Every structure is written in C-alpha cells, then in structure tokens.
C-alpha cells in the first residue's frame, strides 16, 4: 500500500505538473526552433509574442463571456483561441513586413536579426501592457477539476490524493494533437517538405523552384498558431501576466537549444527534458522516502536537492552544460 | 574641430535638454537623471568594448551589474560579528571544500588523457561536491540567517569606505567574466547571447536566494555614502551661508524676517539634496572621464587595431598570428569589469541593494539599446547613447502624457479610452525604446555617432 501511495505522490506532484509544464514549453520551443531553422535568427521576442497571442485570446474570451457564449464544462478560452490565432498571425505578418523583411532581403547576419527582435520585443511588450495592463489575469472558467484530491482518496482509500485539473488534461491533449498535426505537415505535405529543404540548404531549395515568400508566410502562420496556443494554455493553467511570459522565454530557449535548435522534434522533447529536470531537482522527497523506506531509515531533512528558488537556474545550468559539451543539442540540430 | 562638430553638437543638445529639465521641472530631477546617465554611460562603455571593439555579444550585463552591487554591500557594510561566530566556520569550510574541488578537477584535467571515464569522474566529483557542500554548509547558513533576521541575518561585509567597492566590483565582475568566457566564448554569436543571458539569470538567482551572503530579497539598506548626508548639511553653517549667498536676490525681496527664515529653511532643504547629488555627479564624472581616456587610448593603440582586425576578420587575424581566443577572453573580462564598476556606482548612489530589482529588461536590453542607438565602436557614441536613452526612458512618461492629452483634448475626461491610455502612460517608454531601436537599426545602422577610425 505504501508503495502505491508513493507512486501516487510522485504522479501528483511531479509527473503530471511536469508533463503539463513541459507541453507548454515544448510548444514555445518548437516556435523558437521553426523561426531559427527557417528565418535563421534567435527570436528574443518569443515570450512577448506568446503574451500577445494570449492577450488576443483573453480579449475574445471576455467578448464571448459578455455575449453569454460558453462551452459548458470547458473553458470559453478554447472557443476564443482560433480568433486569437488569426489576430496573432495578422500581427506577426505585419511585423515581418515592416521589420524582418528588410533584413532578410539585405541578408543581414543573425546577430543583427537578434538585435532587431529585441526592438520587436520592446514594442510588443509595450503594446500588450498598454492594451491589457501589466497585472495578473485569470481567464479560466468552466469545471476546474476532473478528479479532486479528496474524491480520489475516498474512491481508492489511499492516503495520497491525486488531483487532476482540467487545464492539465486540456494542455496535454491539445499539445499531442497539435504536434502530431505539425509533424504530419512537415513530413508528409509538399509545403512541409519544401520548408525542410529550405531550412537545410537555402540556395539549393531556391534553385529547385521553392518560393521563399510562401515558405516565410507559412512559417509565420505556424509560428502564430504555436505561440498563441502555447501561451493560452500556459495562461489557462497558471495565469496571464506579461512579465511572467517574458521570463518564460528563457526556459523556452533552453528547451529549444537542448533539443538541438532547428530541430522541431528535438525542441518538443527538450521542453519535457527541461520541465522534468526543473521539477525533479527541486522537489522535496521526504514524504516519498517516508513511504518507501522502512521507518528506521526515514530521512530527517526535506531531501531536496535544490531549493525551489533555483527552479529556473536548473534549466539554465542544463542549457549551459549542453552548450559546452554538445553545442548542436542532444538531438543534432539544424535539420528541420 | 570640424571633424568633431557632430559630436559637440550632439552633446550640447543633450546638455541643453537636461538643463531644460532643471529649469522646467526641478534641479533635483535633472541631477538624478544626469547621475544615472553617467552610470549608464559607464555601462555602455563596457558593452561597447565587447561589442564595438571585438564584436562579442554579451547579454549578461545584468549579472555583472548585480555583482558590482554585491561588491558595494560586501565592502561597505560592517561585519556582523554574531553571524560570523554562529556560522562563519561552516561557510569557510565550504569555501575551502570548493577550492579543493576545483584543484582536484584541475589535477585530473592535467594528469589524464581526455576520455569518457575522465568526463564522468569529473561530473561525479562536481555533483558529490555540491551535495557535500550543501549538507555541510546548511547548519551554518541556518545559524547565520537566524541572527536577528529583521536587521541582519547575513555575514555583513568589511566595513570599508564604499568607494573601494568600485574597484572590487570590477574585480568581481571580471572574475565572473573569466569563468563565463572560458565556458562560453567558443560559441556562435547568437548562442553566446542566449548563454550569457541565462548565466546572468543564474547569478541573479544566487544573489536573490543566498540570504547569508546578500540578505536576498530582504534587501540591504542604509549603505555608507561617499557624500555628506542631507541632514548633516542642513545644520552646517557654511552650507546655510552658501545657500543664502546663492539665493540672495530671492531672499532680500521678502520683508518679514520670520518669512525670510522659513524661505531660507526651505531652500536649504532643497539645496542640500541638490548638493549631495552634485557630489555624486562629480565622482561619477571623474570615473567616466578616466574610463573614456583609457578606452580612447586603447582604441587607437596597436591593441585596438588588433581587436578591430579580429572583429572584422577572425580567420585573417588568426593567420597573422594573433591569439583570437585569448584576446576575446581578455576583452570580455575588461568590458564586464567596467560594467561591474557601474553596478557598484549604482548601489553607491542609491544607498541600497535590492536584488529583486535586477531585471533583464532594464539592465541588459536597455543597455544594448543605448549602445546600438549611440553608435557601437565609438566611445563618444556609446556614452551619448547612454545619455539619450536614459533621458528618454525617464522623460517618456511625461512626454507621452502630454501627447495623449494633446491629441485627445476634445474628448471629455470620463472617456474610457482616454482614461485607459492615461493610466498606461508608464508603458509608453517601452514603445518609445522599441521604435527608437527599430528606426535606428533600419535607417542609421551605425548609430547616432558612427564609428570613425582615423589612421594617424
């Protein structure tokens, strides 16, 4: 019985939260990796672009709520996401037209692109804060829990409860669907394949008649979808605050690089690597050992490898280690 | 003279702008803007050495600034004897353990050939070492943090004058830059940017959460000052006389003796804070001028030419026998050290150390905007960038408030949109910075004062 309790404990406090957080990071990381692979620059505006998409989703959610439209047990935001995506894609294409296109035509070095993306970061941040303000926003409605911890305890008679939030299930489900669709698109359709070719060898791709304008357009569209959904899922699960989104850029970068930047599948796995290591290393295992070990060997301390304050530091350290020993990432990068 | 006309013109405009703030808003505001402009100028000089001279991208400016600030705390705060007695031994033990660990790793690296076993054993040593240190230092840390946590709860510093921290801050930042440079400088430009950004976040995380060293988010307040205190000035005879002399015209108009005394008191209070700020301005100006002379000399020296050669064509410079790796490391350390000085200056001026306030937006990206806008590779440009951008950063809110009121003059105050816009005035500074950066990058990519290399 103790053993089952220990498993449930780990499931409840490590596995499910890490899987959710990892999915959110994974979507962001694929976004970074796509931009890096095809448009060839590190996009420092990642976090703020995600917050822009989320903001659009929130605005539509409020609009639907004011109309009285709802999805019952599901959050209204799910209905608003497609509209948010359209808004977001429009914004991204606008930025591309007025900012990035010029440097692409100039064939500027990646560093210059990165600098420009910082300008975009400032502007996007300002726009988001001016429109919706810097405060904390919760826009979740509908049923909060699928399984409540207390119900689970009563149901199974175990000591440990397993809480399953609906946002966690939605996040994981949406991520799986979206990522499978994306990989199907990249591997099976003609446009997806030409994107791969373009990422692999630009000159060769152009010679074989691939239209760069179309590739760039499709990339921004996919990026907009990923950024909005990733951001909205994070906001549903936790809450929306522009500053948090800006900070999330850092673990997202870490995930993209750990997975091998330019490689979407690597980025997808990288998100989970980062999320699991953050949570595994900062979780206090005292209770777990109390269940598993005999009473005489019970630990006195919290058995916590690092305090939770260092959550971000964990992912950054992983990134630094990967950068030093395997700069191309765990899965070789730069092959879309 | 004519060659430098644009430099002189740009700086004159800047000075006039600051003077206008003094005349129309208040001298206090003008001077605090000026002081922070000077500090920003030091930071931009550091970033400019790395980016402009050598083409190294460093997004970790925040980390070096914070280390400079930490130096100010560790130098100037009086040591907390009780905390040292409570946990000093444990902390010293851990320090000793770290030294042993580093030595062992160095020994292994030197002694054995590169192999998988070596890598794994080094990893094992690091992990077990960290665990050992964590468990051995824990009681000491808890004891230190328990010593009067509302007031101290940390080890304190050395109780020296805070001015020394400017040098120590440079050493701290340089030391960190040495480690970071050894680790990350081989990376490609955009990877280096990300790596330095993340490393600076790690530094901030450590400063924020190692309470025994820095007091963490509880902040350290009331640091010593290199300048006199306002309260002391207000009771000093010579200062009151000075204020009286300056405002003689204003004061003689007032007939009533009591009124005149009250007016004088008011002026003394205002004057004292202006005087203190002027003291800081003087100190900062000295630093800026010394650094400017040094960096200018370096830029036109054979070393500066070599750096530019490395920046413009690494392979060619390498083929000419220049040690690119070593020079990159050197310039990375130098630039970071200058940023460290600025960090210490900032904490000195504020008189408090707040680890929670170090955010990448303000301390990394804004500095980069300054360098790019001012003109990378040109020290005068970088300093000007510091001035212009900081000035706009502070004055953006009043300017945008004015513009909003101007354009919505016909709309009543109760209009929801207008109220919302006025409420979000503070965020227009981000918009201004972003647009400024984008426009400069597009239409004047070399900055306001572009790099100009004269071969003499």
Q: What is the ipTM of this complex?
A: 0.89
Tell me what pLDDT residue B271 has: 87
Positive/negative CA dihedral, B421, B425, B431, B436: positive
Tokens of B192: 């280096």
Tell me what pLDDT residue A171 has: 94
A209: burial class by Cβ within 10 Å (0-12, 13-18, 19+)? exposed
Q: How far is A6 from chain B (nearest CA, A)?
A: 24
Tell me what pLDDT residue B120 has: 86
Q: Quick check: B434 and A125 CB within 8 A?
A: yes
B206 at interface of A, judged by CB pairs closer than 8 A: yes
Instruction: Show the CA angle centred on residue A18, arms to residues A14 and A22, nearest 5°.
Output: 170
| Interface test mutation site (partner A, options B189, B419, B434, B443, max chain A beta carbons within 10 A) | B434
Please check whether residue B19 is in contact with residue B30, taking contact to mean a CB–CB distance below 8 angstroms. Answer: yes
Q: Which of A102-111, A304-313, B63-72, B211-220 has the highest mean pLDDT?
A: B63-72
Q: Quick check: B194 and A305 CB within 8 A?
A: no
Nearest CA in chain A to B427: A126
Nearest Cα to B363, choosing from B39, B58, B61, B50? B61
Tell me what pLDDT residue B454 has: 63
Identify all chain B residues contacting A129, using CB atoms and an 8 Å cutoff.
Answer: 424, 427, 430
Residue B119 reports pLDDT greater than 50: yes
**Cα Rg of chain B (Å, integer):** 25
Identify all chain A residues contacting B195, using CB atoms and an 8 Å cutoff.
Answer: 319-320, 323
- As a whole number, the mean pLDDT across chain B is 89
| Interface test mutation site (partner A, options B192, B194, B396, max chain A beta carbons within 10 A) | B194
A30: burial class by Cβ within 10 Å (0-12, 13-18, 19+)? buried
Greater confidence (A193 vs B153) lies with A193
- As a whole number, the mean pLDDT across chain A is 88
pLDDT in tens, A251-293: 999 999 888 888 888 899 999 999 999 998 888 888 888 887 7
Domain ranges of chain B: 5-79+156-443, 80-155
Tokens of B187: 């990376």
Nearest CA in chain B to A129: B427
B109 at interface of A, judged by CB pairs closer than 8 A: no
Percentage of chain B surpassing pLDDT 90? 44
Q: How far is B44 from chain A (nearest CA, A)?
A: 16
Query: Distance of CA B357 to CAs A50, A286, B14, B298, B338, Å?
Result: 24, 34, 28, 34, 20
Non-local (6+) Cβ contacts of B313 within 8 A are: none
DSSP annotation of A295: G
Tally Cβ neighbours within 10 Å of residue B261: 12
Identify all chain A residues contacting B428, using CB atoms and an 8 Å cutoff.
Answer: 126, 130
Q: Quick check: A122 and B199 CB within 8 A?
A: no
DSSP annotation of A38: I
3-state secondary structure chain B: CCCCHHHHHHHHHHHHHHHHHHHHCCHHHHHHHHHHHHHHHHHHHHHHHHHHHCCCCCCCHHHHHHHHHHHHHHHHCCCCHHHHHHHHHHHHHHHHHHHHHHHHHHHHHHHCCCCHHHHHHHHHHHHHHHHHHHHHHHHHHHHHHHCCCCCCCCCCCCCCCCCHHHHHHHHHHHHHHHHHHHHHCCCCHHHHHHHHHHHHHHHHHHHHHCHHHHCHHHCECCCCCCCCCHHHHHCCHHHHHHHHHHCHHHHHHCCCHHHHHHHHHHHHHHHHHHHHHHHHHHHHHHHHHHHHHHHHHHHHCHHHHHHHHHHHCHHHHHHCCCCHHHHHHHHHHHHHHHHHHHHHHHHHHHCCECHHHCCHHHHHHHHHHHHHHHCCCCHHHHHHHHHHHHHHHHHHHHHHHHHHHHHCCCCCCCCHHHHHHHHCHHHHHHHHHHHHHHHHHHHCCCCCCCCCCCCC
Tell me what pLDDT residue B455 has: 58
Tally Cβ neighbours within 10 Å of residue B444: 14
Considering CB atoms only, which of B191, B202, B441 is closest to A313? B202
Residue A305 reports pLDDT greater than 90: no
Of A48-62, B169-183, B223-237, which range is least confident?
A: B223-237
Considering CB atoms only, which of A42, A122, A257 is closest to B434? A122
Considering CB atoms only, which of A114, A129, A301 is closest to B427? A129
Please check whether residue B183 is in contact with residue A317, taking contact to mean a CB–CB distance below 8 angstroms. Answer: no
Tell me what pLDDT residue B346 has: 95
Tell me what pLDDT residue A332 has: 63
Tokens of A82: 């497609």
Identify all chain B residues contacting A109, using CB atoms and an 8 Å cutoff.
Answer: 189
Percentage of chain A surpassing pLDDT 90? 50
Tell me what pLDDT residue A228 has: 96
Tell me what pLDDT residue A327 has: 73
| Interface test mutation site (partner A, options B420, B427, B432, max chain A beta carbons within 10 A) | B427
Interstrand relation of A145-147 and A164-165 (parallel, antiparallel or unpaired):
antiparallel
Residue B232 reports pLDDT greater than 80: yes
Instruction: For residues B163 and B227, give the distance between their C-alpha atoms in angstroms, rounded to a whole number.
Output: 10
Tell me what pLDDT residue A287 has: 80
Average pLDDT of the segment spanning B231-254: 83
Average pLDDT of the segment spanning A111-117: 90
B356 at interface of A, judged by CB pairs closer than 8 A: no
Residue A335 — very low, low, confident or very high, per pLDDT cuts 50/70/90?
Answer: very low
Nearest Cα to A109, choosing from B139, B260, B188, B366? B188
Q: How far is A195 from chain B (nearest CA, A)?
A: 22
Instruction: For residues B90 and B99, give the distance between their C-alpha atoms in angstroms, rounded to a whole number.
Output: 14
This prediction has a pTM of: 0.91
Q: Quick check: A127 and B195 CB within 8 A?
A: no
Instruction: For residues B69 and B66, give the distance between their C-alpha atoms in angstroms, rounded to a whole number.
Output: 5
Residue B2 reports pLDDT greater than 70: no
Q: Quick check: B193 and A122 CB within 8 A?
A: no
Output the furthest CA–CA distance in chain A (Å, rounded).
72
Q: Quick check: B424 and A125 CB within 8 A?
A: no
Phi, psi for A14 (deg, rounded to 5):
-120, -55
B positions 22-51 inside 8 Å of A (CB): none
B187 at interface of A, judged by CB pairs closer than 8 A: yes
Instruction: For residues B249 and B260, give the distance between their C-alpha atoms in angstroms, rounded to a whole number.
Output: 12
Average pLDDT of the segment spanning B51-70: 93
Identify all chain B residues contacting A267, using CB atoms and an 8 Å cutoff.
Answer: none
Q: Quick check: A320 and B187 CB within 8 A?
A: no
Please check whether residue A228 is in contact with residue A88, taking contact to mean a CB–CB distance below 8 angstroms. Answer: yes
Average pLDDT of the segment spanning A139-156: 83
H-helix or E-strand spanning residue A147:
strand A145-147
Q: Which domains does chain A have, with CATH numbers?
A: 2-325 (1.10.3470)
Identify all chain A residues contacting B190, using CB atoms and an 8 Å cutoff.
Answer: 41-42, 110-111, 114
Q: Quick check: A119 and B198 CB within 8 A?
A: no
B131 at interface of A, judged by CB pairs closer than 8 A: yes
H-helix or E-strand spanning residue A292:
helix A286-292
Residue B200 — very low, low, confident or very high, per pLDDT cuts 50/70/90?
Answer: very high
Tell me what pLDDT residue B456 has: 53
Instruction: For residues A57 and A232, give the distance between their C-alpha atoms in angstroms, rounded to a whole number.
Output: 7
Please check whether residue A235 is in contact with residue A241, taking contact to mean a CB–CB distance below 8 angstroms. Answer: no
Please check whether residue B261 is in contact with residue B16, taking contact to mean a CB–CB distance below 8 angstroms. Answer: no
Side-chain half-sphere CA neighbours of B11 within 13 A:
11
DSSP annotation of A208: T
B417 at interface of A, judged by CB pairs closer than 8 A: no
Nearest Cα to A270, choosing from A55, A15, A33, A12? A33
Instruction: For residues B286 and B41, give the distance between their C-alpha atoms in angstroms, rounded to a whole number.
Output: 12
Average pLDDT of the segment spanning B130-140: 82
Residue B353 reports pLDDT greater than 90: yes
Of A23-37, A241-255, B103-117, B334-348, which range is least confident?
A: B103-117
Residue B399 reports pLDDT greater than 80: yes
Q: How far is A161 from chain B (nearest CA, A)?
A: 31
Identify all chain B residues contacting A253, using CB atoms and an 8 Å cutoff.
Answer: 194, 197-198
B190 at interface of A, judged by CB pairs closer than 8 A: yes
């Amino acid at each position: 019985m103790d053993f089952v309790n220990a498993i449930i404990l780990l499931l409840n406090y490590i596995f499910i939260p890490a899987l959710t957080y990892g999915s959110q990071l994974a979507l962001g990381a694929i976004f970074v990796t796509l931009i890096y692979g095809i448009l060839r620059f590190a996009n420092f505006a990642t976090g703020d672009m995600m917050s822009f998409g989320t903001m659009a989703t929130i605005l539509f959610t409020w609009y639907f709520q004011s109309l009285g439209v709802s999805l019952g047990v599901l959050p209204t935001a799910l209905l608003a996401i497609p509209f948010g995506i359209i808004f977001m894609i429009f914004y991204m294409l606008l930025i591309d037209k007025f900012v990035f296109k010029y440097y692409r035509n100039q064939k500027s070095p990646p560093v210059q692109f990165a600098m420009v993306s910082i300008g975009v970061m400032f502007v996007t941040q300002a726009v988001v804060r001016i429109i919706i303000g810097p405060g904390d926003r919760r826009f979740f409605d509908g049923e909060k829990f699928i399984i409540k911890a207390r119900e689970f305890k009563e149901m199974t008679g175990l000591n440990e409860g397993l809480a399953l939030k609906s946002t966690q299930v939605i996040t994981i489900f949406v991520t799986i669907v979206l990522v499978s669709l994306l990989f199907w698109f990249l591997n099976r359709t003609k446009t997806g394949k030409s994107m791969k070719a373009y990422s692999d060898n630009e000159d060769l791709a152009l010679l074989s008649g691939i239209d760069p304008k179309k590739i760039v357009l499709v990339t921004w569209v996919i990026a907009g979808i990923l950024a909005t959904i990733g951001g909205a899922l994070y906001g549903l699960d936790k809450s929306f605050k522009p500053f948090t989104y800006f900070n999330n850029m850092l673990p997202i970068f870490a995930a993209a690089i750990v997975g091998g930047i330019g490689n979407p599948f690597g980025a997808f796995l990288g998100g989970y690597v980062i999320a699991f290591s953050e949570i595994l290393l900062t979780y206090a295992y005292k209770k777990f050992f109390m269940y598993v070990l005999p009473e005489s060997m019970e630990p006195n301390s919290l058995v916590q490898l690092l305090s939770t304050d260092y959550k971000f530091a964990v992912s950054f350290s992983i990134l630094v280690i990967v950068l030093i020993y395997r700069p191309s990432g765990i899965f070789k990068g730069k092959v879309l | 003279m004519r060659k430098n006309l644009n430099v002189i013109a740009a700086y004159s405009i800047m000075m006039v702008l600051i003077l206008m703030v003094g005349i129309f808003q208040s001298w206090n505001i003008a001077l605090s803007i000026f002081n922070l402009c000077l500090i920003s100028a030091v930071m931009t000089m550091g970033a400019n050495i790395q980016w402009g001279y050598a083409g190294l991208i460093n997004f970790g400016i925040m980390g070096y600034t914070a280390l400079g600030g930490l130096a100010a705390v560790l130098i100037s705060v009086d040591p907390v004897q009780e905390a040292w007695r409570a946990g000093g031994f444990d902390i010293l033990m851990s320090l000793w353990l770290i030294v042993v660990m580093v030595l062992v790793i160095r020994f292994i690296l030197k002694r054995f050939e590169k192999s998988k076993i070596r890598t794994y054993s080094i990893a094992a040593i690091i992990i077990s070492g960290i665990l050992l240190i964590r468990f051995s230092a824990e009681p000491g840390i808890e004891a230190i943090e328990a010593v009067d946590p509302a007031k101290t709860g940390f080890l304190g510093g050395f109780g020296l004058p805070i001015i020394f921290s400017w040098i120590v801050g440079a050493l701290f930042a340089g030391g960190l830059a040495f480690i970071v440079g050894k680790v990350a400088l081989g990376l490609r430009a955009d990877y280096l940017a990300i790596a330095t950004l993340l490393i600076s976040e790690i530094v901030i995380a450590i400063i924020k959460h190692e309470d025994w060293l820095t007091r963490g988010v509880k902040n350290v307040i009331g640091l010593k000052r290199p300048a006199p205190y306002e309260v002391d000035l207000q009771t000093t005879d010579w200062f009151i006389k000075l204020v009286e002399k300056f405002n003689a015209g204003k004061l003689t108009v007032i007939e009533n003796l009591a009124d005149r005394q009250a007016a004088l008191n008011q002026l003394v209070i205002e004057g004292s804070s202006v005087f203190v700020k002027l003291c800081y301005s003087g100190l900062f100006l000295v630093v800026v001028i010394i650094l400017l002379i040094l960096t200018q000399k370096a830029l036109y020296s054979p070393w500066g030419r070599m750096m530019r050669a490395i920046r413009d064509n690494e392979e060619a410079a390498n083929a000419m026998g220049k040690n690119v790796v070593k020079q990159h490391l050197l310039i990375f350390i130098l630039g970071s050290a200058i940023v460290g000085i600025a960090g210490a200056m900032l904490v000195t001026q504020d008189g408090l150390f707040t680890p929670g306030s170090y955010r990448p937006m303000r301390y990394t990206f804004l500095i980069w905007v300054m360098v790019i806008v001012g003109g990378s590779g040109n020290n005068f440009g970088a300093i000007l960038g510091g001035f212009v951008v900081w000035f706009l950063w502070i004055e953006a809110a009043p300017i945008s408030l004015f513009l909003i009121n101007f354009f919505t003059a016909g709309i009543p105050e109760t209009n929801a949109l207008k109220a919302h816009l006025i409420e979000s005035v503070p965020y227009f500074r981000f918009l201004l910075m972003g647009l400024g950066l984008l426009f400069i990058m597009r239409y004047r990519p070399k900055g306001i004062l572009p790099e100009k290399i004269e071969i003499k």
